């Protein structure tokens, strides 16, 4: 176990922000992280659990200890007539878990292909894309309580999943380290091509017979065409959530902005496309020094090289203000500000 001091986090966050941690340590076992947490100098210090660093914006150095989750392992733990139950350690790369499931014909995660980050962070955000969310296939997770160092189990209901939300972003924020997640996957695939872009991409690919691999391939192709690769340009994917408005608000907006994009929700409200709102305010492709808005997807803020977190945060604040002024709609950041 090595604890490092004053370590740069630039290569450990997908925005590529050059912030540093007062202390930094990786852990590959639960005993290892418990040992670190028990050290007297860390008992009352700030703690940040780091996975893939794909949903963070560092606006300053972190005056505490950053703990990198390196727990590994994927296994089939049980099955029933219709399902496979697959458990993954929290430090596994999310897309590698998806590829493992596709290779073994475990269906249910294919629409979530190529989402950056690690498995442990996936239920925290209730990650989702192309008509699917973690909550759809989530079975349970195990998490280490940071204070008492005991393992707790959480089922689907106990996680209190919402749109890019869970209990771990609310009342239990910063209290647990997610050590493993178990998914309830299908033996007989339920193909989800409800997102029009998937069906169109499958046509382009010439797919005649659907499979979970073909859907994954289509999703990967769409994501690569729209979203910048963090290895090439710093970003955290979608920076903002798609805002939800009541139907009467949507109808009023549609009267004034006939091309506004909205999706009906089960609760009767309408989800607006944040990217469309931002684009209508003129932000798409704008650049201010090394901070900017991606030229192909207005939802994505980017670091062209040497932007700092405060510059990207300031840009997001200006975008929020302009959308509020033009549409009277409140944008909320999806990315966690540190």
164 assigned to active site: yes
- Of the residues 110, 140, 244, 334, only one is catalytic, namely 334
Supply the DSSP string of 106-135, one letter for each residue.
-BS-GGGTT--SBGGGHHHHT-EETTEEGG
**What is the Cα–Cα distance from 243 to 300, expressed in whole angstroms?**
15
Tokens of 241: 């959530």
DSSP label of 297: -
**What is the Cα–Cα distance from 291 to 94, expressed in whole angstroms?**
27
Helices (H), the chain: 30-38, 40-43, 94-103, 122-125, 156-159, 196-205, 212-226, 247-256, 274-280, 309-327
Residues in a beta bridge with 141:
154, 181
Supply the DSSP string of 246-277, one letter for each residue.
-HHHHHHHHHH-TT--EEE-TTS-EEE-HHHH
Residues 6+ apart with CB under 8 A from 264: 270
- Of the residues 140, 238, 244, 316, only one is catalytic, namely 238
88 assigned to active site: no
- Of the residues 87, 164, 223, 333, only one is catalytic, namely 164
Catalytic residue numbers read 164, 238, 334
């Amino acid at each position: 176990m090595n604890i490092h001091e004053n370590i740069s986090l630039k290569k450990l966050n997908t925005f590529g922000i050059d912030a540093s941690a007062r202390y930094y340590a990786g852990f590959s076992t639960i005993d290892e992280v418990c040992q670190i947490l028990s050290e007297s100098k860390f008992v009352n210090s700030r703690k940040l659990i780091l996975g893939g660093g794909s949903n963070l914006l560092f606006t300053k150095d972190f005056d505490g200890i950053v703990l990198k989750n390196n727990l590994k392992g994927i296994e089939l733990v049980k099955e029933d007539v219709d399902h496979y139950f697959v458990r993954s350690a929290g430090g596994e790369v999310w897309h590698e878990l998806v590829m493992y499931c596709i290779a073994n014909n475990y269906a249910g995660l294919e629409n979530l292909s190529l989402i950056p980050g690690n498995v442990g962070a996936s239920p925290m955000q209730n990650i989702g894309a192309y008509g699917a969310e973690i909550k759809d296939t989530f079975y349970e997770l195990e998490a280490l309580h940071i204070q008492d160092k005991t393992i707790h189990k959480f089922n689907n209901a106990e996680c209190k999943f919402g749109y890019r939300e869970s209990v771990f972003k609310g009342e239990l924020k910063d209290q647990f380290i997610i050590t493993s997640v178990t998914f309830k996957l299908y033996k007989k695939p339920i193909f989800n091509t409800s997102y029009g872009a998937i069906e169109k991409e499958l046509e382009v690919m010439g797919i005649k017979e659907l499979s979970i691999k073909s859907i994954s391939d289509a999703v990967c192709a769409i994501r690569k065409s729209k979203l910048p690769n963090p290895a090439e340009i710093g970003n955290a994917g979608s920076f903002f959530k798609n805002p939800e408005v009541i139907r009467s608000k949507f109808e009023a907006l549609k009267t004034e902005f006939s091309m506004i994009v909205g999706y009906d929700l089960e609760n009767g409200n309408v989800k607006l496309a944040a990217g469309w709102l931002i684009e209508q305010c003129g932000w798409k492709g704008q650049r201010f020094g090394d901070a900017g808005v991606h030229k192909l997807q207005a939802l994505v803020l980017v670091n062209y090289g040497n932007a700092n977190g405060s510059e990207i945060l300031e840009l997001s604040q200006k975008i929020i203000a302009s959308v509020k002024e033009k549409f009277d709609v409140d944008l909320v950041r999806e990315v966690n500000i540190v």
